[in-house]
């Protein structure tokens, strides 16, 4: 019989893992289509980092669950209502490199601060996964941040396009900081930490880059899409999963 | 705008371990040094090939030309005494 704390820990792991996996799937759509060879490889590297992070958290969730589940079960045998990723990462990139970089930057800054806190988790598996992940995320933030600056402070067209990406993605950043009873239980046990506490730091981090990039954050934004914590998603996730899960669902026992 | 829309190329040198020399790994395209460094990291250090990277603008490298080969390198042909081949070395020493 699972305790409430174990259930919460599984949910917590799935939220992180789902977010990284869906983000990775979106980024991997660039493989073979990057604007230049070097960026094509860079984005594939980032996607693989994120898949690696999701595998770590899925494997830990499966281990706590103890019901014979595997990382593949979580990735390939669940429907969209069971996925707990934030809505931002599932948004389609539409072959706009700046949009991909902006998304990687906004989410990366959040992940960086989250993993930095989780390295102090009383749960040794969580702190270990966080310590491994933060090195990767540090690089993602630098890579994406560099591009946000260069596109923002680049040509008239690159500026306008990356500004449009920021306008489109900004409303989704509110959801990054959402928490519920799962978080509260883990926070009270020293396993997780209050995300609200690094919100100011996150804001400072992204504003610093936007200043260098000559970008402005949309003012008076009242639109704030949400639903990831409850598995309520935008229309885009179903299509993404259909493609990602096609093979294991069509050939359930396929092996390499 | 010139007809060639490629970014400039940068030569990449990676160091396998601390203290080892940086060796030429290849080249990347990039608009500036910082991006060249990141591209070099992504292209040439994905499989733990290095612990440090240099990038250098390709056009900063002054190279000898094939026509120079005779004058540059042939005179060393018959000067074996420049090689330290005649020293007695300790057993088991792989290189000096």
Q: What is the pLDDT of residue B78?
A: 81
- Would you tell me how many other CB atoms lie within 10 Å of the CB of residue B74? 9
Tokens of residue A162, six digits = 């990356």
Report the C-alpha gap between A148 and A158 in whole angstroms.
Answer: 10
Q: Roughly what angle, to the nearest 10 degrees, separates helices A37-65 and A97-118?
A: 40
**B32: chain A residues, CB-CB within 8 Å:** 150
Mean of the per-residue pLDDT values of chain A: 96
- Delineate the domains of chain B, giving CATH numbers in brackets: 9-86 (3.10.20.520)
Report the C-alpha gap between A43 and B23 in whole angstroms.
Answer: 25
**Cβ of residue B55 closer than 8 Å to a chain A Cβ:** no
**A37: chain B residues, CB-CB within 8 Å:** 29, 43
Predicted TM-score of the model (pTM) = 0.90
Q: What mean pLDDT do residues A116-129 have?
A: 98
Q: What is the pLDDT of residue B69?
A: 84
B42 to A36: CB separation less than 8 angstroms, yes or no: no
pLDDT band for A114, please (50, 70, 90 cuts): very high
Position of tokens 């330290």?
Answer: B84
Residue B3 predicted with pLDDT over 60: no
pLDDT band for B4, please (50, 70, 90 cuts): low
Report the C-alpha gap between A10 and A8 in whole angstroms.
Answer: 5
Q: What is the pLDDT of residues A13-32, one digit of tens each?
A: 999 999 999 999 999 999 99
Q: Which residue of B has its CA nearest to A43?
A: B42
Report the C-alpha gap between A90 and A199 in whole angstroms.
Answer: 22
> Which one has a higher pLDDT value, B89 or B9?
B9
**Cβ of residue B34 closer than 8 Å to a chain A Cβ:** yes
- Would you tell me how many other CB atoms lie within 10 Å of the CB of residue A218? 13
Alpha carbon separation from A154 to A67, A93, A117, B57, B95 (Å, rounded) = 53, 20, 35, 21, 52
**A104: chain B residues, CB-CB within 8 Å:** none
Contact between residue A169 and residue A23 where contact means Cβ atoms under 8 Å apart? no
Tokens of residue B61, six digits = 């490298």
Q: Roughly what angle, to the nearest 10 degrees, separates helices A124-152 and A199-212?
A: 30
Which residue ranges make up each domain of chain A? Answer: 4-219+230-250
Q: What is the pLDDT of residue B1?
A: 44
In degrees rounded to 5, what are phi and psi of residue A59?
-65, -40
Contact between residue A128 and residue A146 where contact means Cβ atoms under 8 Å apart? no
Report the C-alpha gap between B27 and B57 in whole angstroms.
Answer: 9
Q: What is the pLDDT of residues A169-223, one digit of tens each?
A: 999 999 999 999 999 999 999 999 999 999 999 999 999 999 999 999 998 888 9
Look at residue B94 and give its three-state secondary structure. Answer: coil
ipTM value of the model? 0.83
Name the CATH topology of A4-219+230-250. Ferritin (1.20.1260)
Who's near A123: CB < 8 A, 6+ residues apart?
A9, A191
Q: What is the pLDDT of residues B40-66, one digit of tens each?
A: 999 999 888 889 999 999 999 999 999
Size of interface A-B (CB pairs under 8 A): 29
Closest CA relative to residue A159, chosen from A208, A207, A206, A210: A210
Q: What is the pLDDT of residue B96?
A: 59
**Cβ of residue A157 closer than 8 Å to a chain B Cβ:** no
């Amino acid at each position: 019989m699972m305790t409430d704390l174990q259930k919460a820990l599984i949910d917590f792991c799935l939220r992180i893992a789902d977010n990284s996996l869906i983000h990775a799937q979106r980024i991997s759509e660039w493989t073979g289509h990057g604007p230049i060879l070097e960026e094509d490889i860079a984005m594939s590297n980032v996607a693989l980092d994120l898949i690696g992070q999701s595998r770590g958290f899925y494997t830990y969730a499966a281990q706590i669950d103890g019901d014979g589940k595997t990382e593949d079960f979580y990735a390939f045998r669940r429907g969209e209502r069971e996925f707990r990723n934030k809505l931002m990462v599932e948004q389609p990139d539409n072959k706009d490199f700046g949009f991909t970089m902006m998304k990687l930057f906004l989410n990366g800054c959040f992940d960086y601060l989250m993993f930095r806190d989780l390295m102090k988790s009383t749960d040794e598996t969580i702190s270990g996964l966080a310590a491994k992940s933060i090195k990767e995320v540090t690089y993602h933030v630098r890579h994406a941040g560099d591009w946000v600056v260069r596109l923002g402070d680049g040509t008239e067209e690159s500026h306008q396009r990356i500004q449009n990406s920021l306008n489109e993605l900004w409303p989704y950043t509110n959801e990054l900081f959402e928490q519920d009873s799962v978080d509260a239980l883990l926070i009270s046990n020293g396993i997780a930490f209050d995300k609200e506490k690094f919100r100011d730091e996150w804001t400072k981090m992204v504003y610093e880059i936007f200043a260098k990039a000559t970008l402005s954050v949309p003012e008076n934004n009242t639109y704030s899409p949400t639903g990831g914590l409850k598995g309520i998603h935008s229309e885009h996730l179903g299509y993404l999963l259909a493609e990602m899960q096609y093979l294991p669902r069509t050939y359930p026992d396929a092996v390499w | 705008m010139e007809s060639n829309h490629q970014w400039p190329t940068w030569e990449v040198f990676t160091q396998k371990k601390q203290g080892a020399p940086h060796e030429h790994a290849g080249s990347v395209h990039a608009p500036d040094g910082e991006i060249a460094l990141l591209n070099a990291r992504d292209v040439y250090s994905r499989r733990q090939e290095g612990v440090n990277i240099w990038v250098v603008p390709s056009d900063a490298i002054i190279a000898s030309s094939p026509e120079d080969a005779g004058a540059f390198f042939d005179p060393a042909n018959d000067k074996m005494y420049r090689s330290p081949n005649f020293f007695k070395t300790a057993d088991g020493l792989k290189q000096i």
